Amino acid sequence: MAAAITLDVVDPRSDPEPAYWAQWRASSGMWANWSYQALRVDAWTGRGPLVLCVLRSGAEILGVVSAYISGLPLRRTSYISAGRRQLGLVDVRAPHSTAQQGWWFDSRLSVAEQAELCRVYVRAMRRELGWRVWAVAWRHARTVDLPMFAGRRTLVRRTPALPVIDLPFGTSDDWLASLSRSRRTDLRRQFRRVAEHPDVHFQFGRSADLVGVEEFARLLSENLAKYRRGHRGRRPHFSAAWLEAVFRVGGTLSVTYRDHTGRLLAASIALDHPSLPVLSAWGAVPAGAGGFPHLYFDMYGQLIRWALDTHKGGLILGHSQVEVKTGLGAQLVPEHLVLTGLR
């Protein structure tokens, strides 16, 4: 990485899609939420501006960083209120996901070269955003990532681990055999009840082929509302506009369940990836409102069967319901919040 590093700072709300973006996303295997259409929707609906930074050496892309800006009066921003200007945090997070990292660096780069990209990025954000930037927060850093953040003005804190299920199995029966006897017995009984129920109709495939964005958004929003109570802060907002954007670009899969009238009982979103798809969301009608039990676990069985059939290395399951996911064989991957460039 001897050549000088150049940076493209991109605001998806106002800037056109970079000519190289679609090719980079395809070659790097990034999920559908990194498509520029989805980024544009997310940038308009977030609590703070979304800023992309592309680090290049000539035409070669070395890294891409996605960050939400907390309370800064960006030159290209008009809707951040004056009352939040005391904050100055560049919050590096994946767009619309807490199960991914907000940065991508070329895997061929050494740790020292990746560390240099981090330093270049911090300096660039200060030039772009002004003196109020007091730190860059890198969320969901894995233990293996920590050496590239080493420095005098760095703070590291452990955060909740990420459940990831590895799939070194030939069939779903092999996966079931790896679980505890009680869990295996329960899952097989639940799978059988769903499969044999005459009023539950299962489908799996491209999201755009299976469900309308309005009914899906309503179901997912109602489900997320259950977990928002008592919590503050930004959570992914599954609007119809965002769903339409990720459905349109492809690489978004769904497990859906309907009754005999066609009513949507439950649905999930999985963002495809060459080796590690992400379970992005799940929503279901409560049993007291006409829903059907066991669909949550059946959905996992269907996704794992698909992942094994398509030779995926595993599934990223997201941070919620940790005990349930470890019972399904997921491992907890340690994660950290890293603050760099502290003033």
Task: Examine the domain organization and report whether 207 and 251 are in the same domain.
Answer: yes
59: in domain:
yes
Task: Examine the domain organization and report whether 145 and 187 are in the same domain.
Answer: no
Domain enclosing residue 196, as ranges: 168-312
Q: How many domains does the chain have?
A: 2
- CATH number of domain containing 13: 3.40.630.30
Task: Examine the domain organization and report whether 153 and 172 are in the same domain.
Answer: no
329: in domain:
no
Task: Examine the domain organization and report whether 178 and 306 are in the same domain.
Answer: yes
pTM: 0.89
227: in domain:
yes
Q: What is the pLDDT of residues 4-54, one digit of tens each?
A: 899 999 999 999 999 999 999 999 999 999 999 999 999 988 767 899 999
132: in domain:
yes
Task: Examine the domain organization and report whether 62 and 172 are in the same domain.
Answer: no
Task: Examine the domain organization and report whether 38 and 180 are in the same domain.
Answer: no
Task: Examine the domain organization and report whether 36 and 180 are in the same domain.
Answer: no
Burial class for 338, CB neighbours closer than 10 Å (0-12, 13-18, 19+):
buried
Q: What is the pLDDT of residues 286-314, one digit of tens each?
A: 888 889 999 999 999 999 999 999 999 99
Q: Cα(52)–Cα(55) distance, rounded to whole angstroms?
A: 10
- Show pLDDT as tens, one digit a residue, over the chain (343 residues): 557 899 999 999 999 999 999 999 999 999 999 999 999 999 988 767 899 999 999 999 999 999 998 754 444 444 444 333 445 789 999 999 999 999 999 999 999 999 999 999 998 888 888 767 788 999 999 999 999 998 778 999 999 999 999 999 999 999 999 999 999 999 999 999 999 999 999 999 999 999 999 999 989 877 766 655 544 444 445 788 999 999 999 899 999 999 999 999 999 999 999 999 999 999 999 888 889 999 999 999 999 999 999 999 999 999 989 999 999 999 999 999 999 986 6
